[in-house]
Amino acid sequence: MDRQKVGTMSQTTNLADILERVLDKGIVIAGDIRVQLADVELLNIKIRLLIASVEKAKEIGISWWEHDSYLSPKAKEFELSKENTKLVKRIESLEDKLKVKRGK
């Protein structure tokens, strides 16, 4: 076998192993960015990044993507249903107010 192919296969296997471990265990990357001018803080950005498999994320209690209407069709349907219910209640309230005004 060609020496270059063996090196590439070894690197690929190592990369796959590393990726599998990271997704299985998870990894957190955290950092802060601060911009100050003459001891006056102008900007403060906190960056938190978690890399993990879906199963691992759910195991530690993270499942925001299930409730994000851009990522989940079910969440979009729920959001629309909630909005629809709210609008129906507003319409009913306005109709009741109109009935009261007409009745006077």
Of residues 95 and 50, more confidently modeled? 95
Q: How many domains are there within the chain?
A: 2
* pLDDT of res. 65: 76
Q: Token digits for 40?
A: 């006056």
User: What value does the mean pLDDT of the chain take?
Assistant: 81
Q: Are residues 69 and 57 in the same domain?
A: no
**Do 51 and 1 belong together in one domain?**
yes
Give the rounded percent of residues in the chain with a pLDDT score beyond 90. 17
Q: What is the pLDDT of residue 27?
A: 79
* 43 and 89 fall within a common domain: no
- The reply to whether 58 and 87 lie within a common domain is no
Are 51 and 98 members of one domain? Answer: no
Q: Report the pLDDT averaged over residues 84-89.
A: 94
Domain extent, residue 40, equals: 1-62
* 52 and 98 part of one domain: no
Q: What angle do CA 4, 6, 27 make, to 5 degrees?
A: 105
**pTM score:** 0.42
